[in-house]
Amino acid sequence: MIEPPGLNSLMMVPAVVLAVAAMAALVWLGAHVVRYVAAGKQARPVLRAAWRIKYTWRRTARRVGLVQIERRRPPIWSSTPCTTVITRELLPAITVHRERWGVRVDASTVGRLGLKEFTDAAGHLADVWRVPLVRVEQTQPGRVRLRALLSDPLTEPSTWTDMSGDPAVWAAGIDADGQPVTIRSAGVSGVVVAGLAGYGKTSFLNVRFCQLAPSAAVQFVLIDGKGGPDYDDLFTRAWLSAKDDPQLVRDHLARVRDLMVARQQTIRAVLGVKNMWHVGPSAFWPLVVVVIDEAHTFLNETKGTDAESKRLDALARETARLTEELIRKGRNVGIQVVLATQKATGDAIPTRIRDNCQVAVSFAQRTSEAATAALGSDISGFPDEHPRRLQDPAYVGVASMVAEGRPGFTLVRTPYVPDAVADRIAAQTADLVRDPIGLLTACEVRADA
């Protein structure tokens, strides 16, 4: 006959469970202590923030309003009366990752708790988590990323070192996670680059120049509305170049338009396609990149009744017409116009030109009006990526843009190119300058033969 366990045996079971639980807790605590001690001085604040975020999330979510109460009736098979209302608390699930700059928190959206609600709660989360700033973005449907920043990676300058360049891809820089960011270039005929003076527009254009200059499949038209020495040494790599002479600028754009018309008439015979991007630019059919820095210099209409004012006004109108035509019609024949200006508002760049540009980039802006003019009205829904937040000198070289393959807007740290590097590349590649009109004539002769 088997005797039932004694009272002492039954009392030993919870004691063993408690002992195992205590041992597991000690192991867990010891692992965290070892990790904390082994971490360097700079990594320890990140560890503390990560633990604080992870182990207090449920309480934090309730406090900042990131919780949803679901009310429902009991199922028909339940013994609970059908008139009873069952409530359930829904909290977004999170995963926490430590980064060099702080803590990355990936959260799942729940019901009505989406990007807007997380964005509205960002300030409160920063207070609870004891960090200077929390940035919010949507990485994919159903997933929101929060960056609890102890230090902002976008404030760390980067220097351009990549000597390769693809005309079909514009390598813009890196995002807040240090990942490369590209913007669309293939099939693009118009690009607007806006931002306050001294915040990185010219350097951004220099990077693109340095990426493409070593390629024989690219020719440049460089126009500097400032009239200063910024582009002097780069002109050696340009098919056409000008400073702030409105007559010369108009003449250069008229010549580019002649090239566009000639290409439109011969593209089928020479390339065998209707769109140059189907085969890509080449040495005999190069992508022509027209850069107009301080574009408003040439597009502003002049008010006045004297002869000189009328002459300048006529030139501005003609320049605007040519620019608009190149942007509207130049895409499939490989002509791309890049307009740089401090404010992309309608008084600086006519809206009929600006709104036809497929790509827009904005560095720091003082007003919402200027940011909206450059990036469109959608930027108002992305306060963390808004150009007004980039006015701090630490954000010189940081731009807001729509990046390829990414939803919404992305802040990008653009690399800096020293003038000496850009000038050296221009000098080393000056022998690649060709007249695209002459190349096209040679292609036609070869095709006829």
CATH of residue 127: 3.30.980
- Amino acid symbol at 271: L
Of residues 29 and 114, the one with the higher pLDDT is 114
Residue 339 pLDDT? 96
Domain of 131 in residue numbering reads as 63-151
The residue out of 97, 130, 151 marking a domain boundary is 151
Residue 298 pLDDT? 92
Residue 4: CB atoms within 10 Å: 7
Query: What does the pLDDT average to over 411-415?
Result: 93
149, with CB counted inside 10 A (0-12, 13-18, 19+), is buried
Residue 156 pLDDT? 85
40, with CB counted inside 10 A (0-12, 13-18, 19+), is exposed
Please tell me the least confidently modeled range out of 44-58, 162-176, 276-290, 357-371: 162-176
Structure tokens at 101: 């700059």
**Is residue 9 over pLDDT 80?**
no
CB–CB of 121/84 below 8 Å?
no
Query: What does the pLDDT average to over 74-101?
Result: 81
Q: Is residue 434 part of a domain?
A: yes
**Statement to judge: residues 107 and 218 lie in one domain:** no
Residue 34 pLDDT? 53
**Statement to judge: residues 427 and 298 lie in one domain:** yes
DSSP characters for 211-243? HHTT-TTEEEEEEETT-SSTTTTGGGGEEEEES
Binding-site positions for ATP read 195-202
For tokens 């493409």, what's the residue? 212
Residue 130 pLDDT? 92
The partner residues of 183 in beta bridges, in order of sequence, read 170
Query: What does the pLDDT average to over 405-418?
Result: 88
Residue 412 pLDDT? 93
Of residues 401 and 406, the one with the higher pLDDT is 401
Determine the Cα–Cα distance for residues 361 and 377; give it in Å rounded to an integer. Answer: 14
pLDDT tens digits for range 239-264: 999 998 999 999 999 999 999 999 99
Determine the Cα–Cα distance for residues 379 and 385; give it in Å rounded to an integer. Answer: 8
Q: What is the reported pTM?
A: 0.79
pLDDT tens digits for range 58-82: 999 999 999 988 877 777 777 777 7
How, if at all, do strands 335-341 and 359-362 pair?
A: unpaired
What percentage of the chain reaches a pLDDT higher than 70?
87
**Statement to judge: residues 196 and 146 lie in one domain:** no
**Statement to judge: residues 321 and 193 lie in one domain:** yes
pLDDT tens digits for range 354-382: 999 999 999 999 999 999 999 999 998 88
- Amino acid symbol at 433: V
**Statement to judge: residues 167 and 228 lie in one domain:** yes
- Neighbouring C-alpha atoms within 13 Å toward the C-beta of 164: 3
Angle between helices 419-428 and 201-212 (to 10 degrees): 30
| 257, containing H or E segment | helix 246-271
The residue out of 134, 151, 168 marking a domain boundary is 151
**Statement to judge: residues 252 and 361 lie in one domain:** yes
Q: Is residue 4 part of a domain?
A: no
**Statement to judge: residues 250 and 122 lie in one domain:** no
**Statement to judge: residues 275 and 221 lie in one domain:** yes
The residue out of 127, 151, 175 marking a domain boundary is 151
**Statement to judge: residues 197 and 220 lie in one domain:** yes
Of residues 23 and 217, the one with the higher pLDDT is 217
**Statement to judge: residues 144 and 170 lie in one domain:** no
**Statement to judge: residues 328 and 409 lie in one domain:** yes
**Statement to judge: residues 206 and 259 lie in one domain:** yes
CATH number, residue 239? 3.40.50.300
Query: What does the pLDDT average to over 163-181?
Result: 83
Query: What does the pLDDT average to over 149-153?
Result: 85
Q: What pLDDT band is residue 195 in, cutting at 50, 70 and 90?
A: very high
Residue 443 pLDDT? 66
Query: What does the pLDDT average to over 42-56?
Result: 86
Determine the Cα–Cα distance for residues 447 and 449; give it in Å rounded to an integer. Answer: 5
Residue 89 pLDDT? 85
Binding-site positions read 195-202
Backbone φ and ψ for 123, nearest 5 degrees, come out as -65, -40
Domain count within the chain: 2
Residue 10 pLDDT? 47
